[in-house]
Amino acid sequence: MSPATRSQPARSAPSPWIALILLCAAQFMVVLDASIVNVALPSIGEALDFSQSNLSWVVNAYVLVFGGFLLLGGRLADLLGRRRVFITGLLIFSAASLAGGLATNETQLIVARAVQGLGGALFSPAALSIITATFREGSDRNKALGAWGAVAGSGGAVGVLLGGVLTDLVGWEWVFWVNVPIGVLVAALAMRIVPESRASEMHRSFDLPGAISVTAGLSILVYALVDADSAGWGSAQTIVLLAVAAALLSAFVGIERRSAAPLVPERLVKLGSVRGSNAVGLLVGASLFSMFFFVSLYMQQVLGFSPLKTGLSYVPLAVTIILSAGLASQIVTRTGFKPVLMVGTLLIAAGLLWFSRISVDGSFASDVLGPSLLAAVGLGFSFVPTTIGAVSGVGRDDAGVASGLINASQQIGGALGLAVLATLANGRTDDLIAGGGSDPKTALTEGFQVAFLGGAGFALLGFLLAATMISSSDSRRYSEDPEAAPAAA
């Protein structure tokens, strides 16, 4: 088979929509796993005798490796075969999930979580790049990415629900073991249903120095962010790590400019829609990933909800995300992705501003339901156009790296947002408790209020970047003629 033939979309596949279901199931699993563990953390800490300082690394180990290896995973998918990397990542993820449930001490579990992150960093961008290579730009791809956005957006909410159910009913081990049958089944079916594709032969060389510098730089950056709250933002550790990450990422930019086969091709960087969508994706991740965290804490620590009740409280939010993502994909086809993205970021900001009015004697109906539904619509209206814009005009040879780039932007944005907002919330709570004028619940609530205001600020900045960095003419051309999607800034 010629290189040109291999790089064409797999329109002859028996059923691309069935392949899409498999790809979305895999993505749902990786997003789910980022949140499903949160509700189980107290049970895990008690069962494996975790110290309080190490317990957070059950989450951080996954985030660190996943965020650091996404760009490399996307490029490997382009060069080695997207289906091959997708299946390999799934099997690594499933094996690590099995090991996590079997862990008998904290070291085994943290290592298993890190390996899970590696598997996710391989199959997540591979799955998105398969969608890009399979569905042509236009209505079909918008529908496919609408389903993808619904899965990506609702996975966090469903993870909290499922984590509460499994932990309460069958034990914490099942928050890991639930991945094993799903991952193995999807990998087996993918061999028969998902078409193979890769970059053309002329682009098969690999930029090893670029891969090492960007993976190390992103990993150190994510580590510095997730550990900044405990180490201190002004500590020598945080400052040195941020400086090392900046140096490595600057070196990566220099390497890419001189490389004959760069990890991130210059033609991709020149696409205005790609640059703008990744910038907005980082800020959407910063605002929304932390929202799930603080809303869960508010319901359990202030309103007194059990883990199961907390999980069930996310059902309306998850359903709304799914419905709004489907609607967003249809609107994008008619109007282009920029207007939908701008509306989405404004709705997120409005929802978080509403959340900033939570009260210590509040309730789910008065303080959580309304703002969560508004933010859910904003999430659906943001994730879908962000993903479409991030792969719009991208050649099929670069689908994997473009997919890894938007995933990395959202993941690093989530780590950055949580680190910054947790510092703000903890600082406000500590000040109130030290002053002696507030009880613990009131102090916690006011800390959460500050965090939600900060998240709203991230969303508003995302709106401004969407308005200024993404070309309106490019967005309109996309809706009028998807085959003429933006080719340059």
Task: Tell me, yes or no, whether 199 lies in a domain.
Answer: no
Residue 456's pLDDT is 95
Tell me: do 45 and 190 sit in the same domain.
Answer: yes
Task: Tell me, yes or no, whether 4 lies in a domain.
Answer: no
Task: Tell me, yes or no, whether 484 lies in a domain.
Answer: no
Is residue 436 classed as helix, strand or coil in its secondary structure?
A: coil
| Distance between CA atoms of residues 213 and 210, nearest Å | 5
Tell me: do 118 and 224 sit in the same domain.
Answer: no
User: pLDDT, tens digit, for every residue of 180-215?
Assistant: 998 999 999 988 888 787 766 545 566 778 778 888
Tell me: do 267 and 246 sit in the same domain.
Answer: no
| Distance between CA atoms of residues 384 and 235, nearest Å | 38
Tell me: do 255 and 276 sit in the same domain.
Answer: no
Query: Closest by alpha carbon to 375, among 365, 364, 383?
Result: 383
Task: Tell me, yes or no, whether 321 lies in a domain.
Answer: yes
Distances, alpha carbon 80 to alpha carbons 126, 394, 397, 408, 452, in Å: 11, 19, 11, 20, 42
| Distance between CA atoms of residues 35 and 161, nearest Å | 9
**Predicted confidence (pLDDT) at residue 3 exceeds the cutoff of 50:** no
Q: When comparing pLDDT for 209 and 246, which is higher?
A: 246
Is residue 446 classed as helix, strand or coil in its secondary structure?
A: helix
Task: Tell me, yes or no, whether 282 lies in a domain.
Answer: yes
Residue 13's pLDDT is 45
Residue 311's pLDDT is 78
The single-letter code of the amino acid at 483 is: E
Tell me: do 360 and 378 sit in the same domain.
Answer: yes
Residue 387's pLDDT is 83
| Distance between CA atoms of residues 301 and 368, nearest Å | 14
Tell me: do 86 and 213 sit in the same domain.
Answer: no
Name the CA radius of gyration of the chain, rounded: 21
pLDDT band at 309 (very low <50, low <70, confident <90, very high): confident
Query: How far from each other are the two terminal CA atoms of the chain, in whole angstroms?
Result: 34
Tell me: do 330 and 275 sit in the same domain.
Answer: yes
Last residue in a domain, options 260, 278, 298 = 260
Last residue in a domain, options 260, 275, 295 = 260
State both tokens at 118.
């590696």
Tell me: do 244 and 135 sit in the same domain.
Answer: no
Task: Tell me, yes or no, whether 489 lies in a domain.
Answer: no
% residues pLDDT > 90 (the chain): 24
Residue 329's pLDDT is 82
* Cα 375–Cα 405–Cα 235 angle in degrees, nearest 5: 80
The domain in which residue 239 lies consists of 207-260
**Predicted confidence (pLDDT) at residue 244 exceeds the cutoff of 90:** yes
Tell me: do 20 and 102 sit in the same domain.
Answer: yes
Tell me: do 222 and 290 sit in the same domain.
Answer: no
Distances, alpha carbon 227 to alpha carbons 61, 300, 413, 431, 439, in Å: 11, 24, 15, 21, 28
**Predicted confidence (pLDDT) at residue 484 exceeds the cutoff of 60:** no
Instruction: Name the pTM for this structure.
Output: 0.78
Q: When comparing pLDDT for 115 and 471, which is higher?
A: 115
Residue 180's pLDDT is 92
Mean pLDDT, range 399-418, rounded to an integer:
79
Write down the mean pLDDT value for the chain: 82
H-only helix segments in 336-439: 337-355, 370-391, 399-435
**Predicted confidence (pLDDT) at residue 486 exceeds the cutoff of 50:** no
Number of domains the chain is built from: 2
Tell me: do 249 and 269 sit in the same domain.
Answer: no
Task: Tell me, yes or no, whether 69 lies in a domain.
Answer: yes
Those residues whose C-beta lies under 8 Å from the C-beta of residue 394, and which sit 6 or more positions away, are 132, 268, 271, 274, 402
Tell me: do 251 and 281 sit in the same domain.
Answer: no
Residue 118: which CATH number?
A: 1.20.1250.20
Task: Tell me, yes or no, whether 29 lies in a domain.
Answer: yes
pLDDT band at 72 (very low <50, low <70, confident <90, very high): confident
